[in-house]
Structure 1
Amino acid sequence: MEINLFCFPFAGGSKYSYQEYLKYTNNCVKIISVEYPGRGTRIRESLLKDIEDIVEDVYSKIKDELSQPYAFYGHSMGSIIAYLLTKKIIENGDSLPVHLFLTGRGGPSAIFSDSPKYLLPENEFITELNKMGGSSDEVLNNKELMSFFEPIIRADFQALETYRYKETLPFDIPVSVMIGQEENIVFGDAQTWQKETTKEIDIKVFPGNHFFINDYPAEIMQIILEKLSA
């Protein structure tokens, strides 16, 4: 039976962020990219600055598709949304995802000491985005483009950086974690995902920065397909 793979974008991302991944799936896994409000195909809707509101919105969009086997894949902010959405699904008694694939983010209980980026002045905010990678200099240095993208990215950062972890019972779902060797996440941060599941997690480290996912779509999809076919 076909498995739906719901993909949750990173901060500032859209449903098109995983377009490249479509090339590397098969007939058994259908990629469904989720669109948050205020961007892409939902550009006329208001941006949400609270992660719980984003989770509520996403749930309302996908809840009717949860009767078929499915898995979640999220990068960075998308990982936290995938996690919180799983918790909501458990609370509501819906069918659970068969697997969570979480990239570019330590577990929700991991403590990050960085001061909030969403409060930074424009120039400093853009400097931080440049450090993370994922956006070309042409985009970051284009004032017209950034006047469009900056509010979206800043709203997503606010949603992520104001999120506060609440410890709950672990779920019984397999979790695969992938991080970049050069990003600001240590292996110990990735290991904190183990607190959230009774299954033993697996962790894969890729070369590259926070946006290693753009360089290794084939390899990431191979891991996903292998896990979902096991």
Structure 2
Amino acid sequence: MQLKWFSVFNKKNGPYKKLFCFPYAGGNASTFASWHNSLPGHVSVLGLQFPGRAGRIAEVPIDDMEELTTIVADNMCALIDDDYIMLGHSLGARVAFEVALKLVRKGFPGPKDFIASASPAPSVKRKDAPIYDLPETEFLEALRNMGGTPEIVLQNEELKTIFIPALRADFKLVDSYQQSLSKLNSRAHVFYGTGDHTVPLKDAKAWDLHFTRNCTLNAVDGNHFFIDSNKEKVLSLVADIIG
């Protein structure tokens, strides 16, 4: 089932839990398309689809965190009807966190469980220089060094024309994110990559500051994109959290 902002990969009838998944910069909802096959049968998986990619490729990407998270929260309101779970990877974790705060301010319950994957905590000040506004050659080289963006996109002129605006918008979200000290009353779980040199362990542990309960910390073998390279481990951890 395709909604404008969320792809529902396994629509269910009767009581079930919803897992809202937020992709990394440059990613899209398809990362989570097969997840329901490895999760308990009472779980429905919904993947956030940013404008400017996949089925929304013709739409203008959003590069302002406040605007983006306000719209996403508004669209989630109609989808929340019971306990729900939020998971975000890298940029997606910070987007999910800001969306959850907005939902609470609207009077909705926060997520029962919040999973922050491969992301520094919102309170951690970004140390790297911005890349979103670099000249194209330098921007592409920065993406290549990070990994995660297919080489065919970085080399093909037509694909670059299509995807670079969305990538720049995503990295503007990353580069301009304002530190937050807010807290959620959710069970919190942090996933970090054992070979992820972009998110120091202390920055991942700092998520503990943003919840009224202690965070669980879970190591996953792999680099920053372990959500793709070690999907089996990630899904095993998610399944255990959902129960």
> TM over 0.5: same fold?
yes
**How far is the alpha carbon of 1:111 from its aligned partner?**
2.1
1:126 is the counterpart of 2:105:
no
- 1:74-113 aligned within 5 A: 74-113=88-127
RMSD: 1.5
- 1:8-23 aligned within 5 A: 8-23=22-37
TM-score (structure 2 length as normaliser): 0.89
**How far is the alpha carbon of 1:20 from its aligned partner?**
3.8
Cα deviation digits, residues 175-223 of structure 1 (max 9, x gap) = 1111222221111000110110021111122222211110122221111
1:174 equivalent in structure 2 = 187
1:162 equivalent in structure 2 = 176
TM-score (structure 1 length as normaliser): 0.93
**Structure-1 separation of matches of 2:152 and 2:69:** 32
1:52 equivalent in structure 2 = 66
Q: Kindly provide the amino acid, as one letter, of the partner of residue 193 in structure 2.
A: G
**Structure-2 separation of matches of 1:182 and 1:216:** 12
Cα deviation digits, residues 10-46 of structure 1 (max 9, x gap) = 1111111222423312311111011112222222322
Percent identity over paired residues? 29
1:3 equivalent in structure 2 = 17
**Structure-2 separation of matches of 1:181 and 1:128:** 22
**How far is the alpha carbon of 1:151 from its aligned partner?**
0.9
**Structure-1 separation of matches of 2:235 and 2:120:** 20
**Structure-2 separation of matches of 1:191 and 1:13:** 24
Q: Kindly provide the amino acid, as one letter, of the partner of residue 58 in structure 1.
A: V
8 A Cα contact 2:222 2:230, kept in partner: no
Q: Kindly provide the amino acid, as one letter, of the partner of residue 162 in structure 1.
A: S
8 A Cα contact 1:67 1:95, kept in partner: no
Unpaired segments ≥5 residues, structure 2: 1-14
Q: How many residues align?
A: 228
**Structure-2 separation of matches of 1:21 and 1:131:** 28
1:117 is the counterpart of 2:131:
yes
8 A Cα contact 2:24 2:91, kept in partner: yes
8 A Cα contact 1:21 1:218, kept in partner: no
**Structure-1 separation of matches of 2:231 and 2:46:** 15
Q: Kindly provide the amino acid, as one letter, of the partner of residue 79 in structure 2.
A: E
1:37 equivalent in structure 2 = 51
1:73 to 68, 87, 94: 87
**Structure-2 separation of matches of 1:203 and 1:140:** 34
8 A Cα contact 2:220 2:233, kept in partner: no
**Structure-2 separation of matches of 1:85 and 1:176:** 17
1:212 equivalent in structure 2 = 226
Runs of 4+ in 1 over 3 A off after TM superposition: none
